[in-house]
Amino acid sequence: MSVLELDNVVGGYGDTQILHGVSLHVDAGEIVVIIGPNGAGKSTAMKAVFGLLKLTDGAVLLDGNTITNTPPEKVVRQGVCYVPQTGNIFPSLTVEENLEMGAFVRTDDFKPRLKEIYEMFPPLLEKRLQPAGTLSGGQRQMVAMGKALMLEPKILLLDEPTAGLSPKFRGEIFETVRTINSAGTPILMVEQNAKQALGIANRGYVLVDGKNRFEGTGQDLLNDPEVAEMFLGGGKQPEKPPAKTQKPAAKKQPRKSGKT
């Protein structure tokens, strides 16, 4: 049984339909990457898991149980952690406070977990009393991921963790993703840097226009001539405009979140 499964999900924001039938699954221990052109609905598919948009059809299953259209604060309690692309840390809180907030829904003692997180991200231990907003981009991502991992989630969702980072940090983040995964957490990740992401992924999905286009193991997709031509070839084309198409989705989110 898959840890997470999206079964032909259809939905969007308000009247705008973005997902026209996306199916994917993440099995225990896997890293699964979603790639695709801008506006393909990659991030939206991920938000669908987290109850951030209204699904009109299809189902989201966690460990075989339906969680379709469950609001985010409840999805978290079921063991799904989501790291948004931007605004994924509390800048005025210290690193340690950020991690503590990650454990907000835990009622047991999270101190041992905190220690594990610091072992996983040594730079954070050093800066634990600094406001998270003062950290570098790469370290902020570490805080964001560490915060999500405080819950020891069943699955971790990462929305473009390397967006806006320099190549050096990008490599570091992918390395971190691999570390987290090897500690046992399955990961579903949306990425613009398709080549690198597929390199560390067990499997990948290519979404186009809100639908599955290709799927396969990371290597298969890397070797597929059509995929290569579309997304990996020049690499530059699909990388530039994302800022534009990603914006509307990002803007919707805070409004939606206001509704409790």
Q: How far apart are CA 137 and CA 143, in angstroms?
A: 10
Residue among 31, 25, 27, 33 at smallest CA distance from 179: 31
Q: Does 181 bind other proteins (CB under 8 A)?
A: no
Largest CA-CA distance found in the chain, in angstroms, rounded: 51
Pairing of strands 31-35, 65-66: unpaired
Q: How far apart are CA 7 and CA 4, in angstroms?
A: 10
Smallest gap from residue 101 Cβ to other proteins (A): 5
Q: Does 69 bind other proteins (CB under 8 A)?
A: no
CA distances to 84, 186, 199 from 202, in Å: 22, 10, 8
Q: Does 72 bind other proteins (CB under 8 A)?
A: yes
For residue 157, the one-letter residue type is L
Q: Does 53 bind other proteins (CB under 8 A)?
A: no
CB count within 10 Å of CB 177 equals: 25
Q: Does 258 bind other proteins (CB under 8 A)?
A: yes
Q: Does 91 bind other proteins (CB under 8 A)?
A: yes
CA distances to 44, 122, 157 from 77, in Å: 21, 27, 14
Among 16, 54, 56, 73, binds other proteins (CB under 8 A): 73
Smallest gap from residue 247 Cβ to other proteins (A): 15
Q: Does 77 bind other proteins (CB under 8 A)?
A: yes
Among 104, 167, 209, 233, binds other proteins (CB under 8 A): 104
Residues 218-257 that bind other proteins (CB under 8 A): 253-254, 257
Q: How far apart are CA 40 and CA 212, in angstroms?
A: 9
Smallest gap from residue 241 Cβ to other proteins (A): 24
Q: Does 151 bind other proteins (CB under 8 A)?
A: yes
Q: Does 93 bind other proteins (CB under 8 A)?
A: yes
Q: Does 137 bind other proteins (CB under 8 A)?
A: no
Among 55, 76, 189, 230, binds other proteins (CB under 8 A): 76
Write out the residues near other proteins by the rule CB under 8 A: 50, 72-73, 76-77, 82, 84, 87-93, 97-98, 100-102, 104-105, 147, 151, 253-254, 257-260
